[in-house]
Amino acid sequence: MLSKKIEKGLNEQIGLEAYSSSYYMAIATWCAANGYNGIAKYLYHHSDEEREHMLKIYSYMNEAGAQAITPKIDKPPAEQKSVRAGIQAALKHEMKVTASINSLADVSMKEKDYTTFNFLQWFIKEQLEEENQFRSILSKIDLVGTDSKGLYMIDKEMGKKVDNS
């Protein structure tokens, strides 16, 4: 049985994961429209993963006898200043998601809800990986700067990451 506070926190997390999925789709379509098809492919794939994260919470809540609330999703921005700005925005967003997961873990520990605390461990590990992935793409983009050949190579590499995953 989940406390009202935990239930509310998990439902808010569902909203955040749903927005993440939508946000990465928005960055992906901008990338595709601006010639970065590999990065677009990577972000579309990432968007699918975010939906899976959301469904993981649905499933946990249902298993715990609670009802997940299907969220209303805000419209993400359609425009990016550059491919770098898009990736940087994604990293910033992931940091926000990490803070939210950590705060939820904190609440579950304080409430002695060890089952939820244990459930959140998967997300804590996943957040570390996701932040690292976006940081690494950003570093690569920074290395090549505005060199179009360099950006082309990064784009190609990002597309291949999805094929090999």
42 lines the binding site for ligand FEO (CB under 6 A): no
Distance CA 100, CA 9 (A): 9
Q: Do the beta carbons of residue 154 and residue 35 sit within 8 Å?
A: no
Binding to ligand FEO in span 54-93, by CB under 6 A:
none
Question: Among the residues of the chain, which ranges form H helices?
Answer: 4-33, 37-63, 83-110, 114-144, 148-163
Burial of 119 (0-12, 13-18, 19+ CB in 10 A): buried
Q: Least distance (Å) from ligand FEO to the CB of residue 75? A: 19
113 lines the binding site for ligand FEO (CB under 6 A): no
10 lines the binding site for ligand FEO (CB under 6 A): no
Indicate which single residue of 94, 108, 133, 141 sits in contact with ligand FEO (rule: CB under 6 A).
Answer: 94
Q: Which is nearer to ligand FEO, 33 or 128 (CB)?
A: 128
Q: Least distance (Å) from ligand FEO to the CB of residue 84? A: 19
Any residues with CB less than 8 A from the CB of 82 and at least 6 apart, and which?
none
Q: Which residue lies nearest ligand FEO, judged by its C-beta?
A: 53
The tokens 């009802």 sit on which residue?
A: 67
The tokens 């010639």 sit on which residue?
A: 35
Q: Please count the CA atoms within 13 angstroms of the CA of 26 that sit on its side-chain side.
A: 18
Q: Which is nearer to ligand FEO, 49 or 150 (CB)?
A: 49
Indicate which single residue of 7, 50, 113, 155 sits in contact with ligand FEO (rule: CB under 6 A).
Answer: 50
Q: Which is nearer to ligand FEO, 15 or 35 (CB)?
A: 15
Q: Least distance (Å) from ligand FEO to the CB of residue 35? A: 25
Residues that bind ligand FEO (CB under 6 A): 17, 20, 50, 53, 94, 97, 130
